[in-house]
Amino acid sequence: MILILNLGLYIFFTLSLAFVIKKIFFDYYMKLEENSLLPILIVLPFSFYFSSILYFYNLILFENLKTSLIFLEFLLLISFIYIFLKIFKKKYKRKIKKQNNYPTNFLHFFFYSLFTLNIFIFFVKSIRSPHGEIDAIVSWNRPARFLFRDGGNYWLNNFKIEENFNSQYPLYIGSSVARNWLYLNFETTIFPIIFHLIHYFSVIFLLFYSLRIFLKQNSALISSIILSSSVLFLQISINQYADIAVSYFILFSFILLVCSQKNKKLELDLLFLVGLSIGITGWIKNEGLIYSISLISSIIFFQLLNKSFLNKKNYFLIIGFLIAIIPTFIKNIFYTFPNIFLSLNFKEKISFFLNFDRILSVFKSMFTLFFTGNNYIIFFLLFLIYLIGFKKRVNFEILKIFCLFFLFSTSFIFLVFLQMPYDSIEGIVNAIYPRWQIQLLPAFLFCIFLVLNDKTNDRKKRLYV
């Protein structure tokens, strides 16, 4: 009985927060009428983010974890409801017309069949490895045990263990899992499995849902089928790695960016949310900070071309980002950790950066993996782009921002690889780079499908031109 009550309380807080966030994002900023459970499930990662930072602050500030957490969660929910009531004045809803013809029905059938198969594979493989693969065990699920066990009294031990355990990693997954265990009063591997399944589900349906707003349903379905067909994307999710969560927030940032271009009245709010959304990636993985800086730089770069650097837009974007990285900042500054990447001194780092053989081998590995790492998806996409063709009158700005974002982030990642303290750097690149590449795949699909021809020739009917 107590277990059901605890679980009920957990589900209540998580879903009601997601419900309010859904109301803010979809009903207010995207002006969509959708009263199903689907959009609530799509925004669940945002609910996880806010709850996870709350758990982290709670761990720092209070001793009686559960009571204070329930109190804090209640306050958080009230404050979100207040924000919602404050901004939600008018109803600007629009319905998305459902297409009912042969190709759409067939694509629907194919998409849902593929998705069902993926969910089946997900569960079968998760039963076989309920703790996830070794990286997930070491870097993501292990911190959850430090945060939860013994009432969180020894969570600081997390920063004293051997450097192989990547204690420097952020705590989005760790604190989300620990929060669930705290409500249940016991550890279970079922929650991390469901947690990663929700993220997998959310990314695919977010892509489908967002493209459906701007384009015909067929284009949204095709892009979602391509994402669902990525075996590496599925495998990373099954392995319980954090990359899918990163890809979710990158995709959301680009969706909000497009919304900001479409809705000039709410542009500043939306740019604030772009900064917030991309900043959240820094609380999931360290490379999230690279993505945040890359995206902000890309947006500012295009505004510089329009000679408007010191304007409100950039301030809102940067403020959103700064708010999102507060927990990451607190963790990294106040809780020191052994970090193998910081084991080199400045002189050694410079010698690594100037080593031509090393530069060449990292470049070669990254270049090869870019084309082969995700099972030739690049060639397939190029062929598809050629086949479909671009729209006649099209706004390439988002695609340009994505390309610049890709260029900046890849350059940063290249520098990170160069200074890694390993001799056989190719092995490290081969292990990590495909995962970094997959983090950008949903956002890339979103950006490219926006400019592809969806046969909506009537300019008025098109929402993204």
Helix axes 44-61, 243-262, angle to 10 degrees: 120
Residue 63 or 150 with smaller CB distance to another protein: 150
Residue 132 or 327 with smaller CB distance to another protein: 132
Structure tokens belonging to residue 381: 């996409």
Residue 126 or 409 with smaller CB distance to another protein: 126
CB of 155 to another protein, least distance (A): 7
Residue 33 or 150 with smaller CB distance to another protein: 150
Residue 72 or 384 with smaller CB distance to another protein: 384
Residue 226 or 317 with smaller CB distance to another protein: 226
Residue 330 or 384 with smaller CB distance to another protein: 384
Q: If we measure between CA atoms, which residue out of 321, 280, 287 comes closest to residue 413?
A: 287
Q: Which residues pair with 452 in a beta bridge?
A: 390
Structure tokens belonging to residue 171: 């705590």
Q: For residue 95, is it left (φ>0), alpha (ψ between -120 and 50) or beta?
A: beta
DSSP state of 25: I
CB of 162 to another protein, least distance (A): 6
Torsion of CA 135, 136, 138, 139, to 10 degrees: 100
CA angle (410 as vertex; 342, 313 as ends), nearest 5 = 100
CB of 107 to another protein, least distance (A): 7
CB of 412 to another protein, least distance (A): 21
Q: By three-state DSSP, how is residue 43 classified?
A: coil
Backbone angles phi, psi at 459, to 5 degrees: -60, -35
**Amino acid at residue number 21:** I
Residues forming the site for another protein (CB under 8 A): 103, 106-107, 110, 114, 117, 124-125, 127-129, 131, 134, 137-138, 141-142, 145-146, 149-150, 153-155, 157-158, 160-162, 164-165, 218, 222, 225-226, 229-231, 235, 343-345, 348, 375, 380, 383-384, 387-388, 421-424
| 357-to-52, 349, 360, 419 alpha-carbon distances in Å | 43, 15, 5, 13
284 touches 239 (CB < 8 A): no
CB of 430 to another protein, least distance (A): 14
- Rounded to whole angstroms, how far apart are CA atoms 200 and 248? 9
CB of 170 to another protein, least distance (A): 18
Residue 78 or 354 with smaller CB distance to another protein: 354
CB of 424 to another protein, least distance (A): 6
Q: If we measure between CA atoms, which residue out of 65, 42, 327 comes closest to residue 181?
A: 65
CB of 380 to another protein, least distance (A): 5
Q: By three-state DSSP, how is residue 390 classified?
A: strand
Collect all residues with Cβ–Cβ distance below 8 Å to 90 and sequence separation of at least 6. none
